[in-house]
Every structure is written in C-alpha cells, then in structure tokens.
A and B are shown apart, each in its own frame.
Chain A
C-alpha cells in the first residue's frame, strides 16, 4: 500500500512551530543545510498568512527517479517510498531540477561538488544509510514529523489511514452542525 504525506488544506492549521523540522533533524541526524521537510510561510503578517510544511510527496511517477543518470533513486515496491542509494548517487543535482517540490537536499557546499543527494525517507533511513558494520539501516515507515505535529496539519500513512482521519475530522464538524464563523472585516 503506497505511503504518502498529506497536508490538511481544508482548514490550514500549521503554526510554524518547527516541530516537524526539528524532530526530523534529531531523528534522522541530517547535517546543516539538509531539510527533509521545511515549513514555508506566505504573506507573513497579512490576513492571508499561510504556513505550509513541504516534505517529499513520494510521487507515483517521481520525476527525480526518471532523470537520475545512475538510477540511484528508486521507489520501494511494497510501500511506494522513494529512496536514494548514496553509493551510486553522483551528486549531479538533476533530481533537484526535476522535482517540482524542492525535495532533494544537498549538504551545505556540496551541491555540484560530488555531494550525495539526501531526501525524506518516510523515516525508514537516517542520513547515514549504513551502520558501522556497513549494513543498511531499515526502520519502520513512521514519519516522526507527522507524529509530533501539534496541530494535526501534517498527515502521513496509507491512503485508507489518511482518508479515515480526514473523514473523522469533517464528520465531526458536520455532526456538531458547526458553521465557520464569518466576520466581515
């Protein structure tokens, strides 16, 4: 079952508390400059102010994968998570050009300089893919960013899990007969 991130845009809840960014760096030990998820803000200080966390969306047809000249980027069959093999990555940066969401990351000063690409792994791999014995580290696909999200804006998981969560939210509002309070100024 493919795993995805989803942002609940029906009610934009993100406060930009940075919990997702910080827990990602703590859990995956990414170095400076590598943000597997990043919150961006539009219209800061305006009534339309919006925050949006931007993770890798683990596309069904990932453009990064198709442009990779060394086939270092691949999509896992069992859960659709897009990963990069750092042993074969040559750091050309094509993936960054191809990705519409800015997901591929390069350590500070390494872009175009033989650095390895890093990206969100749905928390299955940390930044250093291998342990001391050279074995690939494989963890459970449980993205910490979605788990710590204080406002529940960021959702992650299988389609049925996300769907259940969204239905619960909307159903809750409908069952209580709540209408959004509109104020006109």
Chain B
C-alpha cells in the first residue's frame, strides 16, 4: 500500500498546494486552530486519488470528528478534522488508531458455522437460510418469545431502529442492548425527575461551568471531553472528583472525595444537608420550577455530614468543603457515568445527582445541568430508538396506544402486528434484558419463575459483547444450552468461543461503521452524519442490509421495507423522523449533511452557527428538534428563551396535579401537554402530520411546561435513601440500610424472578461471605480499550499501548497477602451459586498501586479469552483470535438488580485476592457449606 500522497520533494509539493489550493478551494476548511494549521486538500498526484472524508469516531460517545484519508479506495491514514465543533481535531488513542482496526486481518471475513467442533466457511445465502429456518422452527415449537435478540449501541441510528422494528415484526419484546447495563438507570432516574433521561447539556457547554463535580473517570473513559473541561479549569472552575479510586480525573481535580463503592447517595445527601442548613439552596428556582421540596428535605436532614462520613468513609470536613465550593461556584455541572448507574440503587443515585443540581439551581442552564457521559458511539441513539425490551422507539412504552402509533408509522395493520405476537399480554409485557437473559435460558436448572411460556432457546448477538455482562459463568452455561447462537459482528466476539459446544453457532461478518453511511447520536443528543469511508472489506455486509435480507427470509420483508426507497436516508426521514415524537427526533438527514459541509460556521462556545446557510442552528440539532426550522435544543429545560430558539421546560409528564394536590405545572407560563391545535391533550406525540409550527409560534411547549419532581411517588423509594449494596462489607449498616425487599421486584421482573433482600440475608447475614471475601470489588475502563474489546484487543497499536488485564490493589492489602507488583494472582468470589458453582475465580496480574484505597480492588472489564484461569482461544476460528487476552472482570461481579430497570450491579461486590493457585481455607469452607 502506498505510504503517502506526497511522493515528491517538499518544495515542489508546497508549490503545487499553493497553486492548486488557493483561497477558493481551501476557504471551506480554513480556520486557525492549535499551533499549526492543517489544510485538508484532496491532492491529485501520480494518478493516485487521495480523498479526505469527514466521518465520526466509532468508539466512545463524545462523537469526535475524524478525516479519513482514502487512496484508491483504501483507508490509508487519518487526519485531524480541525473544524469539527466538538473536538477540533483532538483524538485519544482509540480514535487515532482506527485504520488499524478496520484494515485488520483478524476480522471475520465471511459467514462461518461451527459443525462437529470445526469452523466451516459458508455462503451468505446458506447462513441466512439456516438462521431463518431455525427461527421459524423455534417459533413453531415454542413461540416467538423463545428468541432473544441482543441489539447494539455500536451501529448507526438506522440499523438500531431496524433492529427494534425487526423484533416488533417478529413478534417479541425480547430485545435489548448495551444501554440496559449502561445507562438504563439514567433514563429512569432523570426521566422520573424532569422528563427526559439524557445528558442535559453538552461537552462544549462544560466550558461555562464554574465548578464541576465528577462521579466517574472521564480522563480515561472520555479523554477528549477534557478539551472542554480544561477550558473551564483555565477559566477558574473548581474540579471535584468523587470516586472510590484516585483516578486520573482525581489527579487533575482540586478535591477528591474517596468514598466506598455503592455509597453515592449518602455522600450527595451529606453535601445537600450542608446546602439546606446553610441556606445555600436556590429558593426561587425551587418555588417556581420544582415540586416536593419538603419531602426531600425531610430525608436529607437525616444525613448530616457526620452520618455520611460513617457510611461513605469521606471525612465530614471534606463533604462540607465540597458543599461550600459548589455553593460558591455557580453554575456548576455534575458529571457521571457507569460508576453511578451500575448499582441496584442506580436510579436513585442519578435522582440524587439531579436533586443536588435542582437545589443549587444549576439545572436548566448553561454551565450547569447533569452531564451523563454515555459509553458507545451511538448508545444514546440506540436508546432513543428503543432497542430495549420495555419500550418502542422514542420512549413510547409498550401500551396499546404505543403499538398503534408505530403501526401507523410503519404502515401496517395493528391487528396484523398483534397476530405476530404470542398474545396481547406478551405484546405489552416487558421482555428479557441484557442483564438477565441467561437466567431465562437456564430457568429449568435454576428453578426461577419466568414470565413467558417457555425459556429462551435461541439468541442473536448483533454487536453486543460478552465481557460486559455480569456473571460470566451463567452466561457461558446459557450460551452452551441454546439451540442456536447467531453472532453478527465485524470481529469474532468472545461469545463464539466461550461456550464449550461443537455446533449450532453461526457467525455473520457485519462491516464496521466506516463502511456504511448513517447517522449517529452522541452523548449530548447531537445527531451527526457519518460518511461511508470505504466499501465493506472482505465478504462483510452492512447491518441494515443483513437485517432486511433476514426479514425477507422470514417472510415479512415486504411489510418491513414498505417505506424505504433510498437506503439508509429513508429509514430516518420516512420513519424515525415521522414517529419519534416523544423526544422530537425530527432532524432531516439533509440538514445533518449540510451541517457537516459547513462545519466551520459553528461557534465552539455555544455550538451555534453564526451566518452561512445553517445560521442559527445548533451543531447536531440536538433533540427536541421540533421541525425543519427549529435549531435544536443543546441545553434541556431552559425556559428563559423562546421555544423557537431551543427553549422549553421540565416535562408535564405526570399530569397537572401531584397526589398531594399541589400543581405540577411550572410557575412560569405553566401549561399542560397540548394537542397540535393548542388544546390540552396528548396529541403532540400521536399526530403524525403536525410540525408544531402553531404551538411554537405561540411559545408553547408541545409536551407542556411542568415541574421537576423531588418526590417521584411512582418509584420504590419516592425520595432516594441509602441502601447498602447486596454484597456489602458492612453488615451492621446493611441492617440499618437494607437493600430492596424481594417483593419490590414483583413475581417476575422483566420476565424473570428477581431477588434482593433475601440474597443479602442469606449471603451476608447467614453465610457471612464478607469474612471470606473481605475486599470490595469495583470495575471500570482502560483508555485504550472499548466495551468488550473485540475490536480494540485485535488492534496492534492499542494492544501495544495496553497489553494487560490486571487487578489494582493497595500496597497494604498486597503486602498482607504476600503479593508483589506484577505477580500472577487469583481473584476469588462467591459467584455462580445459582447453579451450585460457589467458587468463581479469575487469574490476572497484580498491579500494586495507591490508586485504590486499602480494602478496595479495581479491575478493567474489557477482557476476554480466558475463563476461570483457563484459556479458550483455541475455540476461535483460525486467525481471528484477538492479539491479547485476559480474564473477564465480570466473572466475579456480584448479584443485585435495580427494581426499575434490572440494571446489573458491577461496581460494588466482594472478593479476595491470593497468589495464583492458592485457595484460602475460609473460601473452601464456604463452598462446602
């Protein structure tokens, strides 16, 4: 492959560039930035055509722009996209090494099937026919609900939407994706507080913050966000980091609140206590725009900083100082990610954060808000488009009205659609989730009650990783028990090799996101057009095409593709844009493409276009974007600007009166949700033709102007209270602050029996497992890897930068156990007991560091290729195994599920670390008992 376009002497090149470039062709891209200026010129040299194609990074949710350099149809290099309004050309290691991920011979090259213990190459036709026949056979034998579909946050909006539509047409709600185990509690927590469950502000807006409190580690998980965070710091913002680890973010912060994993709520309440008792709350904001302050005040006053210190381990003085800093530096923003969401109290953690911002009056303003940093490049989009078992696209839920609405969008009969389902009840019942689908497969073995006629018999993993799912032992057993397993991925995901089975696995090579165009929604609700860079490599195909081909094989292809003439644009313009009215995801693709062309007109501070054809638009047209004239809403719930300029208010989602009789309508121009003609009613989300012009002209918000709820009467805890993790190292606190009662989960919870308190009673109070497993387990990310790591662990550049899976352990704990830095160790836990497997353990390297406090260990979760100390790479198809392998941290994650969303718990478990090969006597005794 040619190394470079510049095959001539430097001087002659410069001459050429000057002559050919000129102001006219370059002007479009020309803008000062950084020390050096880079001018992307499509240079024509020596017969070789070099193009620079604007595209979006495929890894995390910051949504960085990258210029892909393509010569002769091959991706040869990348260049910084210096006019991109979010990252201005900045990249982290993952984005900077994408060519090595795409031009990689470890990719899955053609469809494969496992037969008699051997992998065999098959044709697309054979693969799709076999999958379709098996699906129809299972439908015949067990019904449509015996199939589980794991969708993806790593596909475009169009593909994600089609995944949900595919399962709707198939006739089951057993579809879910990464968001379940990622930010489902954000959607429940923020949605129940003020209406929408998404990041309220955006990355660029963090520049305006005077204080930032982190509840996660963006320095490693979202490094490019620090481009804006540092700008805030440069302007004098105070950074506070609340994290059990002394993370890289903590190293850059002014104050570190090092709390015990799983005690976010008492920490936040400790801060709120100070705000309330010192009179630092924003009284006017509370009076005009919120409801239920007296209820939350009553709870908060039970958590003075001293009580918070006792629970969290953070000195009361530090909590008081944090409160003072937040009160004196307004507006301040709050940032969090997985560390807060992945708890059984995740929803309540997030509500506590929102309440903190409401008390400070930081909500609904520039420089404030709650910034939930999401994980994958399109997890916000996939969540919005309902690749979830509890809702249809755009958060309509599963009610009859919701199905009728979408049937109308799809142009099919509601009765036909209902006929695809096993029954009307199952059509409206929440389906299996990513966190518990394996229990629905193993229901006969574990004896758990299930909420559908039969257990799951077949699973389709469409771009979902195995390492991110808690309890790998159960996942492995489930993968072994399925009648058929289909995996669609550019790489061979570890689900193909983890199960010890000889047949019944089909692998389909999907192309990467740079090989097919589409839209992608980043964490800040900004929708960007991602151009196709190259044609699909090898025999891989785009997700959209595979889904449509499979729909045709299953006999509903005609209905499925009724509205589509031009792919993929029509999926967005003809269906998503028409139907996704709850979130008003109504950007047209031509507007997104126009924004991409005129990227240089957007102001980096406000993200608003100044002049040019996009004048007045916000970058990415963040939803709610009501019509083709609306500029988008970069900051949610601002009521001081007109609706036409991106203003609106907290949602009037729960009616006009709370159960206590007080009004739920805003104190400033409050009104209920409206029909398109201006009368009160839910017509705004059900009318398929309105473009809301009448309402917007009258400065009315279609969904009403309501109040934020301190008191969410529909949740198990209307006001968040502390609840110890199911597996807690502090049993005395667990008696005082117990976890959720079993009955909160109902008979079945997302179709599977779920327990809370009884696990805590049995494991902690009776068996006292915390004595055998005294260390607290928490997990997180490495900057060089993404998600389950199938792609990044096969990328030679990233592997060289981060080749190891490890456990971070404090020198004190390591010395007590005779462990030295770099030793191979075992990390034990009591997981897998559902199937009588009491001794899960993983083999990793020890990293002795003071990053973690004594009593806490940290493991990154991106790794696969070993299971319970045994390597299984021989089960990968030849030539496809990742370059580096490691144990999956989630093998030892604890039990515990959120009662609102069935979020898994992965951030606060119990474990013990020993040298490799050593099993302490206490663990042996416990396993025998």
Contacts and interface: CB of A to CB of B under 8 A. Distances in A.
B6 A19 contact: no
Contacts of A140: 6, 10, 13-14
Interface in A133-153: 133, 135, 137-140, 142-144, 146-152
Chain A interface size, as a band, is 35 or more
B38 A147 contact: yes
B185 to A, nearest CB: 27
B321 to A, nearest CB: 8
B4 A137 contact: yes
Contact of B91 (A19, A47, A173): A19
Contact of B219 (A15, A20, A149): A15
Nearest to B93: A18
Contacts of B99: 26
B910 to A, nearest CB: 22
Contacts of A92: none
Contact of A137 (B3, B34, B91, B321): B3
Interface stretch (B194-202, B224-232, B547-555): B224-232
A150 B90 contact: yes
Contacts of A183: 254-255, 321
Interface stretch (A97-105, A111-119, A155-163): A155-163
Contact of A44 (B14, B77, B79, B849): B849
A53 B93 CA distance: 13
A20 B797 CA distance: 12
Contact of A146 (B35, B95, B802, B850): B35
Interface stretch (B245-253, B481-489, B888-896): B245-253
B234 A128 contact: no
A172 interface: yes
A22 B93 contact: yes
B798 interface: yes
A126 to B, nearest CB: 5
B176 interface: no
A57 B912 CA distance: 46
B6 A147 contact: no
B97 A26 contact: yes
A172 B234 contact: yes
B783 A16 contact: yes
B100 A17 contact: no
A49 B251 contact: yes
Nearest to B34: A147
Given A19-B95, A26-B97, A150 B6 contact: no
Interface in B1-26: 2-4, 6-10, 13-14
Nearest to A137: B4
B690 to A, nearest CB: 42
Given A45-B851, A162-B35, A178 B92 contact: no
B744 interface: no
B35 A21 contact: no
B7 A135 contact: yes
A113 B802 CA distance: 27
Contacts of B246: 45-47, 49
Contact of B35 (A22, A155, A173): A155
Contact of A149 (B2, B90, B100, B252): B90
B3 A29 contact: yes
Nearest to B97: A22
Nearest to B233: A11
Contacts of A173: 234
A126 B4 CA distance: 9
A26 B485 CA distance: 36
Given A26-B797, A131-B7, A148-B89, A156 B234 contact: no
B298 interface: no
B301 to A, nearest CB: 27
Contact of B93 (A21, A33, A165): A21
Contacts of B219: 15, 17
B778 to A, nearest CB: 15
Given A22-B91, A126-B4, 17 more contacts: A15-B220, A17-B223, A18-B92, A18-B96, A18-B784, A19-B92, A19-B95, A26-B77, A49-B251, A150-B223, A150-B224, A157-B36, A169-B234, A173-B234, A179-B236, A181-B236, A181-B254
25 contacts: A13-B252, A15-B252, A17-B220, A18-B784, A20-B96, A22-B94, A22-B96, A23-B91, A23-B96, A27-B77, A49-B248, A131-B7, A138-B9, A142-B38, A146-B35, A147-B34, A148-B96, A150-B224, A151-B226, A151-B227, A152-B34, A152-B230, A165-B34, A165-B35, A172-B234
Interface of A: 11, 13, 15-23, 25-27, 29, 32-33, 44-47, 49, 51, 124, 126, 128, 131-133, 135, 137-140, 142-144, 146-152, 155-157, 161-162, 165, 169, 172-173, 176, 178-179, 181, 183, 185
